[in-house]
Amino acid sequence: MREYFGSGVRIRGFLGPPYRVTTPTGGDVVIMRNNLKVRRGDDAVYRACTLLARDLWGRMTVHGGREFVLGMMAHGEALGVNVRADHTNRWAAVLRALVVTGVVVAGMAVSGQDGSGKAVTLCVALLIWWVMQRSAKREERRKAQQMGFHYPRVQGMAGAASHDDAKRKGWV
């Protein structure tokens, strides 16, 4: 970890994860077995976390505030690390399960002994699940576009444009 964060860092948790890395500039990172959490950091901390994630997991998924996500995405593009923004709502699946369970329980109570009523109830529950899941994905896409990330990502890496392409009209 000193290779990424520098020689003056303080590392706690020598027996195993989670490790807590504190940098001399005030950066604070918690590194767990399958993810890491930046508590405080600057440019050097973001860079070190991006490179560490590349070597540990090969890619990185970030979620959080707009500035944090944009910073990590920028570092990922500059360093050649696959960094993906995660805009999922953690409670969306739980809400879908609760709504579908409520629909199934209510439908079974209303349908009584008739078998066709139960089949209709299950079909309605699956339709509600599908509509809610589609709505959640649409919401994720809206959040991503609001932050400036468009799906599918077609821009490529930051240094992908040649010098001739940069001279053409339309390039900054």
Q: Write down the pTM of the prediction.
A: 0.54
Are residues 50 and 75 both part of a single domain?
yes
Are residues 69 and 128 both part of a single domain?
no
* pLDDT given at position 131: 92
Cis amide leading into 18 (omega within 30): yes
Domain count of the fold of the chain? 2
Joined together, the tokens standing for residue 51 give 């490179």
Are residues 16 and 49 both part of a single domain?
yes
Query: What DSSP string runs through 56-98?
Result: HHSEEEE-S-HHHHHHHHHHHHHHT-EEEE----TTHHHHHHH
* pLDDT given at position 166: 56
Chunked mean pLDDT (size 10), the chain, 172 residues: 81 78 84 79 82 82 77 82 77 88 86 74 89 86 69 48 55 46
Are residues 79 and 97 both part of a single domain?
no
In a domain, 19, yes or no: yes
